[in-house]
A and B are shown apart, each in its own frame.
Chain A
Amino acid sequence: MSSTAIEINSKRGVWGGGNEPLKASYGKLMMWFFLLSDIFTFGAFLITYGAIRMSYPSYEGTSAEFVSSNEYWPIPEMIFDALPFVHGVHFPLVFVGLMTFILITSSVTMVLAVEAGHRYDKSDVVKWLLWTLLGGITFLSCQAWEWSHFIHGTDGGTILEYVNTLNRVVSETVFGANLVVNEYGPAAFAQLFFVITGFHGFHVTLGVVLLFLAFYQAAVGVYEQRGHYEMVEKIGLYWHFVDLVWVFVFTFFYLI
């Protein structure tokens, strides 16, 4: 008898409100759905990249004798081969590999900060957030160098025939890259590079700002006063998302 009554009560409870079907706090839920919408944005970029990339001819031949041209899509390892402080030496994909390593490592220190937050360990949260912050700033600095190098180009440049901004077909030596022409490949190559890595870099910048906020508030004890470290967890979700996007950007841009 009594067990039946309890069952009815629990069923009434479902319709009586106050349930949490997703069992997550408001802030965390909104962060997840914001990230989903952001995944759509980056998904659109990657779809555009994939479709345009495959609609261009690939370079036929070995990478050793690769020459840039706007007739075909370049081989990424022959384009992204520069390192700071060593000029004119061929280091294929080394710098971007370093950037990937930095971002993955900063993602790891972020998980450690979230884990410390679960344990209410203020000093550990502050320590790991600081490492994450340093990782983010280092990544941004690397990207700034990468962009600067990409825009200024190589010593030799490439002789290209293209339609300039005045709608005239010109044939000249092109150095570096802009949105109209670039020495590496078709105009779409540099355009996609600027838009996709730029939008990702913008997300990293926002992430660094948020991380600084979390670092400051954790250090002065705001979260300890509040009684929980959920803000660290939410910013952590965002930071991992930035890392997740980089994993895809890395594959599509620097490998395919």
Chain B
Amino acid sequence: MEQDHKNGLEVIPKDPAKIKKIWMTALILLLITAFEFVLAFTMPRGILLYALFIILTVVKAYYIMMEFMHLGEEAKPLFYSIIVPVIFLVWLVIALMKEGSEIFVTRW
């Protein structure tokens, strides 16, 4: 009896709204990437362009972590123990890019 129940898991029907949301997120990610391509070929290189690229990348990371990895649905302590170190890390990347440009000034 117990074995019967285990062998035949009942399939829950699809929720079209949920599946539509997944495809919408994918569309947003692809549109942001396409927009980055447009920026790469139209804007002059410089701090403004790099800042835009980093902001758009963080937006994409937000969508992947929230919609694809369902981090937003986890318990708050777990959510913060993942997201807070990541935010500091993004800051560290930006801080050391600034540091690198200071090295450039003194080296050349």
Could you tell me which A residues sit within 8 Å of B by CB distance? 21-24, 29, 32, 35-36, 39-40, 43, 46-47, 50-58, 75, 77, 92-93, 97, 100-101, 104-105, 107-108, 110-112, 115, 118-122, 224-225, 227, 236-237, 240-241, 243-244, 247-248, 250-251, 255-256
In angstroms, Cα B69 to Cα A108, docked, is: 11
Q: What residue in chain B is nearest A237 (Cβ atoms)?
A: B69
Out of B13, B30, B65, B93, which one reaches A104, CB within 8 Å?
Answer: B30
Beyond A24-B78, A104-B26, is A244–B64 a contact (Cβ under 8 Å)? yes
Contacts of A54 in B (CB 8 A): 97-101, 103-104
Distance between A114 CB and nearest chain B CB, rounded to angstroms? 8
Contact assessment for A97 and B33 in the assembled complex, using a CB-CB cutoff below 8 Å? yes
B78 and A115 within 8 A (CB): no
Cβ–Cβ contact A23 & B78, under 8 A: yes
Taking a contact as CB atoms under 8 Å apart, the answer to whether B41 and A77 are in contact is yes
Partner pick for A119 among B11, B68, B78, B104, CB 8 A cutoff: B11
Known: A55-B101, A119-B14, A255-B36. A50 touches B75 (CB 8 A): no
Give Cα A61 to B25, complex, Å: 38
Q: Given A51-B100, A55-B103, A22 and B36 touching (CB < 8 A)?
A: no
Chain A neighbourhood of B22, CB < 8 A: 108, 111-112, 115
Partner of A248, one of B10, B61, B68: B61
Contact residues in B for A224 (Cβ distance below 8 Å): 7, 9
Which residues in chain B, 19-44, are within 8 Å of chain A measured between CB atoms?
A: 19, 22-23, 25-26, 29-30, 33, 36-37, 40-41
- Chain B residues contacting A50 (CB-CB under 8 Å) are 93-94, 96-97, 100
Residues of B within 8 A of A237 (CB): 69
Residues of A within 8 A of B61 (CB): 244, 247-248
List B contacts of A243 (CB < 8 A). 64, 68
A-B contact pairs, 6 of them (CB 8 A): A23-B75, A39-B85, A50-B97, A54-B104, A224-B7, A240-B68
Given A100-B33, A225-B6, A248-B57, are A92 and B41 also a contact pair (CB < 8 Å)?
yes
